[in-house]
Structure 1
């Protein structure tokens, strides 16, 4: 572990001060790589592998995340973590046939071409990707802005194959997205664990001041820097430990979070899915274990390994798995993933979480039978079981909130002594899910105050 700690300090100098340095003193890059792998790879590597004639051949016999990169490939890799790159706008992972698309970014050339999540790119500009790394695929896709790239890709769900030519663009992603959802539930999405993640999350929390609950979205987040994960874990209440790390000695070392000056206030939910990986799992496992948040979604990806970057003398870089991480108490993540507290259907994570957050703010309200398949032009009629004094009735007494979205403005009008009509000022979204809440702000005709509010789940046709 001492060797690893020493190396990490060198890594920070290389990455952030751009001082070129190497750990090995051998004359040739392949000899440097062999020495580094012997010392730092998470497992012992036999000489039969180390004696392969090229670095790429050696890394092919290591785990899938250990990769040899040219200086250009390394630059593209770090740019991707920072959410700025030239390409077609996709997130990738290795696949036996090539590279699988984990996400397609909105407004990108890939989206405009109709490429979908789950498609597998098998060929780029006539070059087969079978057995190649994600970094190799990225190097083919990146190149210069406004140049063309021809892809052949398969769609496993239909068995179709496509070949298309796309034009590369500069893709600049917003790393932290945030908004106040209906009912004053703060929503913050982190797309990558970049160097500025903590700063951007802190700004989002402060701009969403007054939130009654929080949803932190790590779906499709493939990870990033370990230090960023330590910082992000520091935003959650009651969370002090970030992760447990074990290098090739298999000795456990627990690392603390990096405390933040602002924090999420309970209740907090974290959204995860099958593509939440690496640093996302590091944070999720830690926060779940220390009860800093409740996880919603599906089991995460299961990449519980940490990679370090070793610069070689020819300016190429060896990305090497140097440790595996666990929850602070030692619960495995690698090839297991992190299980959510509340399992949801794929694509329903935000809706279920938002609903639960809303219901938590109206404890004691009575739940009425759900309304299914209502017309998008639906007008709601609410009838009380006694005569009411509707004087002073306002639209704020009734809330219609789209789950995963905003509050829908409504008009509220008394029809008779027992009945009011609630009319949305805009059509409901087809297949949209809503929560209709009636707050106990009115009095009966005998001046008795309503004691219990009501709520009902609504699904549009």
Structure 2
């Protein structure tokens, strides 16, 4: 499959790939991107394979005995293939590593597509933590982002079906669905006493992994939304255009970038990390480390800022760490997600189209830092607007005066962010809140009733989306631009 810079994403994003962050694929189709991490990843992935220890006779007899009991004594007929798949899933589950999983043929194909940049899902990268489905990042412009899904949100249920007790693949099966169908998510979010309800409509979307533009003041902005196979090539194309346009400073935006293919981010980093300097280190189970050194041009004459947030994960963190430590870049924004392991996919050994994706190493920053479950802190803190994190309104019945709850709290935060001051954001619908609602309704051409029905909620949603898409309201981006200009004046 070839790409000319654009690929089609079908929402819901297969959450299977939530555990694929910074994955080094080892199948033949990815041979062109493996060179940058050889020999380090190849050595780690092959460690301990010279004399693999097979199941001994007692272990095989035990497994066969259980299978025989199931097939002959269980109270109803079973599918033998499902039993075998379940046994393999159990082996992977015993590792207690959310990034090590077994995928049956269909899920394996979706995973392969995800690496190439074609997805199926709601547009949110997820993982499994302590038995809970946790959002890594919503993809920009996706139904997940529009509905207000955030990094670190915990998905409790989908259309009333609880996810507790399911593995990641099973949970994804509930999240996915045909275009135009509804996904009603129950979300637990830090800072909210009660679960939030988000309603998403699954849809198709045209997605580009790299967006770039040159501002009138000479500052270039490159947004990298994920690291798919075509991303390094697209990044190079856009960087050349910016350089030819006379760029004097660069902001690389990896907010809500959930990661991707590890060698691709290495290729991107080589534009800035001097030749021979480390981009990332790989550490195996025995503590042996291999450095991946830059083979690129490295130094740029202009200052660089990397824009990060809590949805920046894995490969995005590798880029941020490498550019901070080896290219003099300043990090702006919020502490990143904190995913510091590397996975390799094995499918040829299984022979039936299924695959095992397994964590085979840690990755470390050039200076040897391991950011797993800690993230990378910015040099310059820049919190996002409250409108970036507020839960969107899901109105079944009108929200009226003299009521209290999380819906009212979200309403007040939205009104305040849009410039309609409710005087409080504690979740109590008082007279000032009603007045703010009426003012918004009048400005939106709606009947000024003071209560929030579905039409008012939809108008508020559209107003929030419009506000968020206006670059003038992006305080984090402005902070990064200021940082680049300040570095340029030194």
Give TM-score, length-normalised by structure 1: 0.62
Q: Provide Cα deviations, 1:112-138, integer angstroms capped at 9, x if missing partner.
A: 556555543212355432254544433
With over 3 angstroms needed to count, the CA separation of the structure-2 counterparts of 1:191 and 1:321, relative to structure 1, is same
CA contact (8 A) 2:312 2:337 kept: yes
Distance (Å, rounded) in 2 between the aligned partners of 1:225 and 1:73: 18
Distance (Å, rounded) in 2 between the aligned partners of 1:190 and 1:327: 20
CA contact (8 A) 1:286 1:327 kept: yes
* Greater mean alpha carbon deviation, residues 64-73 or residues 328-337: 328-337
Of 143, 150, 168, the residue aligned with 1:109 is 143
Q: Provide Cα deviations, 1:323-365, integer angstroms capped at 9, x if missing partner.
A: 11112342223233333333333464322221132345567xx
Of 321, 342, 345, the residue aligned with 2:359 is 321
How many angstroms does 1:148 deviate by?
4.7
Partner residue, 2:257: 221
Of 11, 25, 32, the residue aligned with 2:26 is 11
CA contact (8 A) 1:97 1:120 kept: no
With over 3 angstroms needed to count, the CA separation of the structure-2 counterparts of 1:162 and 1:336, relative to structure 1, is closer
CA contact (8 A) 1:100 1:118 kept: yes
How many angstroms does 1:185 deviate by?
0.3
Across the aligned residues of Structure 1 and Structure 2, the Cα RMSD in angstroms comes to 3.6
* Greater mean alpha carbon deviation, residues 127-136 or residues 216-225: 127-136
CA contact (8 A) 1:233 1:258 kept: no
* Greater mean alpha carbon deviation, residues 79-88 or residues 322-331: 79-88
CA contact (8 A) 2:269 2:319 kept: yes
Partner residue, 1:230: 266
* 1:286-435 pair list within 5 angstroms: 286-311=322-347, 312-346=350-384, 348-361=475-488
* 1:4-43 pair list within 5 angstroms: 11-13=26-28, 15=30, 39=48
Distance (Å, rounded) in 2 between the aligned partners of 1:180 and 1:165: 36
Larger helix proportion, structure 1 or 2? 2
Distance (Å, rounded) in 2 between the aligned partners of 1:144 and 1:355: 44
Aligned-partner SS, 1:300: coil
Aligned-partner SS, 1:301: coil
Partner residue, 2:280: 243
* 1:418-457 pair list within 5 angstroms: none
Larger strand proportion, structure 1 or 2? 1
How many angstroms does 1:167 deviate by?
4.0
CA contact (8 A) 1:242 1:254 kept: yes
Does the alignment pair 1:255 with 2:292?
yes
Moved over 6 A (4+): 49-53
Distance (Å, rounded) in 2 between the aligned partners of 1:15 and 1:291: 28
Q: Provide Cα deviations, 1:404-427, integer angstroms capped at 9, x if missing partner.
A: xxxxxxxxxxxxxxxxxxxxxxxx
Partner residue, 1:177: 211
CA contact (8 A) 1:87 1:171 kept: no
Distance (Å, rounded) in 2 between the aligned partners of 1:68 and 1:156: 31
Higher relative contact order (CA 8 A, sep 6+): 2
Distance (Å, rounded) in 2 between the aligned partners of 1:253 and 1:313: 31
With over 3 angstroms needed to count, the CA separation of the structure-2 counterparts of 1:141 and 1:75, relative to structure 1, is farther
Aligned-partner SS, 2:383: coil
With over 3 angstroms needed to count, the CA separation of the structure-2 counterparts of 1:328 and 1:163, relative to structure 1, is closer
How many angstroms does 1:217 deviate by?
1.3
Q: Provide Cα deviations, 1:365-391, integer angstroms capped at 9, x if missing partner.
A: xxxxxxxxxxxxxxxxxxxxxxxxxxx
Aligned-partner SS, 1:274: coil
Aligned-partner SS, 1:86: coil
Distance (Å, rounded) in 2 between the aligned partners of 1:114 and 1:283: 26
Distance (Å, rounded) in 2 between the aligned partners of 1:55 and 1:212: 54
Does the alignment pair 1:60 with 2:93?
yes
Partner residue, 1:397: none
With over 3 angstroms needed to count, the CA separation of the structure-2 counterparts of 1:175 and 1:131, relative to structure 1, is farther
With over 3 angstroms needed to count, the CA separation of the structure-2 counterparts of 1:55 and 1:39, relative to structure 1, is farther
CA contact (8 A) 1:77 1:135 kept: no
CA contact (8 A) 2:128 2:168 kept: yes
With over 3 angstroms needed to count, the CA separation of the structure-2 counterparts of 1:333 and 1:100, relative to structure 1, is closer
Distance (Å, rounded) in 1 between the aligned partners of 2:46 and 2:160: 33
Distance (Å, rounded) in 1 between the aligned partners of 2:272 and 2:110: 32
How many angstroms does 1:309 deviate by?
0.4
Distance (Å, rounded) in 2 between the aligned partners of 1:154 and 1:308: 31
Does the alignment pair 1:192 with 2:226?
yes
Structure 2: 5+ residue runs without aligned partners?
A: 1-22, 33-44, 64-85, 386-474
With over 3 angstroms needed to count, the CA separation of the structure-2 counterparts of 1:125 and 1:71, relative to structure 1, is farther
Aligned-partner SS, 2:120: strand
Distance (Å, rounded) in 2 between the aligned partners of 1:272 and 1:115: 17
Partner residue, 1:283: 319
CA contact (8 A) 2:340 2:370 kept: yes
With over 3 angstroms needed to count, the CA separation of the structure-2 counterparts of 1:200 and 1:9, relative to structure 1, is closer
Aligned-partner SS, 2:324: helix
Aligned-partner SS, 2:175: helix
